[in-house]
Chain A
Amino acid sequence: MSDRKYLVHPDRPEKIEYCKNCVAPSSSAIPLAFDEEGVCSGCRVSGQRDKVDWEDRKNRLARLLNRYRSKDGANYDCIIPVSGGKDSYFQTHVIKNIMGMNPLLVTYHGNNYTPTGLKNLRNMKEVFGVDHMFFTPSIHVLQTLNRMGMLMMGDMNWHAHCGIFTLPIRVALQFNVPLIIWGEHGFMDIGGMHSYNDFVEFTYRYRHEHLCRGYEWYDFLEAAPSYGESLEKKDLITWMYPSDEEIDRVGVRGIFISNYVPWEANVHGEMVKKEYGFLESEEPFERTYRRMSNLDDMHENGIHDYMKYIKFGYGRATDHTCKDIRAGKMTREEAIEIVRQRDHIKSKDLWRWLDYVGWTEEKFDQVADTFRDPRVWWKGQNGEWVKDNLWDE
């Protein structure tokens, strides 16, 4: 049980365990389990990928897609939620250009695209020749949700996690298009949450519990006055998940194509750069060495990820090196060095975000400190924050 009193207790919490194969910590924000050999479920499930009969999977996908293809061409065949990132390109490449479906692309625009991210997004409808729906909630509401998310759960980007996984479902209902094609199951990819035999699909519970952390629009509506914010029900339509009855009426179903097509981000990244003109970030990020991820939200790689470090003691450099170790692109030693250099950085994204929401850095730090997980952090002799490190093993 977590007990806030340990924040100032001289005794340290139980030691963090790290995966023997990659660098994933037991304090992982996403569900991750260690087996008796000390190897994490993320590594184990990623190892299953080579044993999957991908030819068979592709046939299954073809059969599934055929069931949803519009009979008379009077409607879209499916919906692909896209951010304009390399994964969006890959999904659209598979669904439109390999499987011959006619998708409707749907984008939740959280108002903070990097210039490169926006170029990539606009480029999609050109290179794929598809219809694209582009949706931006009110900026005033987005700013409010940024502040409230930070105060309620130490995450300014709740609106984005929730929006990305709500808007496409609302569109599916409104356009009467039951099939939604997601890319990879994020928690299965990093944490090994499911087996490849599960053919896991999108569910409300996964969205509610894991992507939205158990919070819904009505929690924000209810909490607004206590944070000095004003929100009305009508401001929050974007984040309202449809009822079970509505979902059943259209038969909405979301599949992850990582169950049907081998998913290897490094390979896809290179392919979509070459074939479709996808651009990497011109500017390097401070907290990760990869330049082709999370271009859709300029605060995602810096400040949102910094909060993960504040809470759980690790950041995106850890996630990215884990993936690269599993893909055989990096040794564990190289990963440790990258994590040592990157995971703790307070990046300049923070100042951009402070301007966006009108906060001071002092206020941010105060709020951030209340979210330090006592399973990870304790206070040293001089009152400084201390945690276990990968390189101290």
Chain B
Amino acid sequence: MQLRRLIPALFIQNGLIVRSEDFSIHQIIGNVVNEAARYNQWNVDELIYVDISRHQKYDARRDDHRISSFSSIEEIIQGISKVCFMPLTFGGGIRKIEDVDVRIRNGADKVILNTGAYETPELVEAIASKYGNQCCVISADYRMVDGSPMLFTNMGTRNTGVNVLDWIRRCETMGAGEIFLHAIDRDGKANGYDFETINRACEATRLPVIACGGAATIEDFIDVFLDTPASAIAAGNMFHFTEHSYPRAKRELKREKINVR
């Protein structure tokens, strides 16, 4: 049986890691490289970074820090790859194949995209044919609208009017390798995962589904793995602020006989 994965998902804004809530409130947590180094010590399965900067402005803000500033996404990826030895997925602002090239060339193993895939479906095919299907992760960001999970793009601001389950089926035919199912309504709310949509997404596709949005405690992870066939769970905020959060979560999952590394 496939090992199920637990993945920290980190959001970068203007060069710093932020805590995200409802895709709209962002509090600065700290340096991208320091964070990656700590996850490396914790031996995490893989890391997902999404750059949510609205402007291409990168600045680590302080010069009296041991880790100095960056001026571009390339420098950030390079800095992370130097301290981090697990698979890295990078996303944010990917609109053309050259954007993918830059990320892969600087150390990313996979890319993750949302708006780019919706607006330019050919891009998904292009990534799949150049780097293989497994390289292309689709971030299916959705909000519940009148009881249906609807796909949103442009950092959660634009309702496409497309049901996210239909979108996932289409992504599979376009050549995506994995679905990152992200519940915007639950982002940063610590109110638990959306089991129903996770289950329906897993029925809709043969692709691995990574569930994200709503984690408050380790029990939430256990519940997702027990009650849905999701192949991975991602969480952002909660990994930032409890000590050994990741290794502790792994231990608890194993104790529940969940098949994790």
The residues of A with any CB-CB pair to B shorter than 8 Å are: 1-2, 29, 31-33, 35, 41, 44-45, 153-155, 191-195, 197-206, 208-210, 213-215, 219, 244, 247-248, 252-254, 311, 371, 373-375
B244 touches which of A209, A247, A375 (Cβ 8 Å): A247
The contact size tier of chain B is 35 or more
Q: Give a binary string over B223-261; 1 marks a CB under 8 Å from any A CB, 0 the rest.
A: 000000000000001101111100100000000000000
- A1 in complex: contacting residue of B41, B58, B65, CB < 8 Å: B58
Contact flags B47-81 to A (C-beta < 8 A → 1, else 0): 00000000000110111111101110000000000
Chain B residue nearest to A210 (CB atoms) is B30
Contacts of A374 in B (CB 8 A): 63
Which residues between 1 and 56 of chain B lie within 8 Å of chain A, taking CB atoms? 13, 16, 18-19, 21, 25-31, 34-35, 38, 41
Are the CB atoms of B62 and A209 closer together than 8 Å?
A: no
Please give me the residue from chain A that is nearest to B245 by CB atom: A203
Given A1-B59, A205-B38, A373-B62, 16 further pairs, Cβ under 8 A: A29-B62, A31-B16, A31-B30, A33-B13, A153-B66, A191-B27, A193-B29, A194-B241, A198-B190, A200-B242, A204-B38, A205-B34, A210-B30, A248-B244, A373-B63, A375-B61
Complex alpha-carbon distance, A303 and B29, angstroms: 27
- CB of B176 to closest CB in A, whole Å: 32
B189 at the interface (CB under 8 A from A): yes
**Residue of A with least CB distance to B68:** A2
* Interface assignment of B188: CB less than 8 Å from any CB of chain A: yes
Chain A residues lying within 8 Å of B18, measured Cβ to Cβ, are: 33
> Taking chain A's interface residues, is the majority helix, strand, or loop, or is none over half, making it mixed?
loop
Given A1-B58, A33-B28, A244-B41, are A155 and B64 neighbors across the interface (CB < 8 Å)? yes
Contact A213 B65 (CB under 8 A): yes
CB distance from A159 to the nearest CB of B (A): 15
Do B241 and A219 touch (CB < 8 A)? Answer: no
Q: List 30 A-B contacts (CB under 8 A).
A: A1-B69, A1-B71, A2-B59, A31-B30, A41-B27, A44-B25, A153-B65, A191-B28, A195-B27, A198-B241, A200-B241, A201-B241, A201-B242, A205-B35, A206-B241, A208-B34, A209-B31, A209-B65, A213-B62, A213-B64, A214-B65, A215-B66, A219-B66, A244-B244, A253-B243, A371-B63, A371-B64, A373-B62, A373-B63, A374-B63
Residue among B26, B63, B247 making CB contact with A2, cutoff 8 Å = B63
Kindly report which residue of chain B lies nearest to residue A219, judged by CB atoms: B66
A391 vs chain B, min Cβ distance (A)? 24
* List of 6 A-B pairs having minimum Cβ-Cβ separation, nearest first: A214-B66, A31-B28, A1-B71, A200-B241, A153-B64, A209-B34
Check B63–A193 contact: CB distance below 8 A: no
Nearest-Cβ distance from residue B25 to partner chain A, whole angstroms: 7
Q: A203-B243, A205-B35 are in contact. Are A194 and B27 (CB under 8 A)?
A: yes
Q: What's the minimum C-beta distance from A226 to chain B, rounded to whole angstroms?
A: 15
Q: Which of B71-98 contact A (CB under 8 A)?
A: 71
A209 and B63 in contact (CB under 8 A), knowing A1-B70, A244-B244?
A: no
The answer for the CA separation of A194 and B237 in the assembled complex, in Å, is 9
Contact of B27 among A192, A209, A214, A215 (CB under 8 A): A192
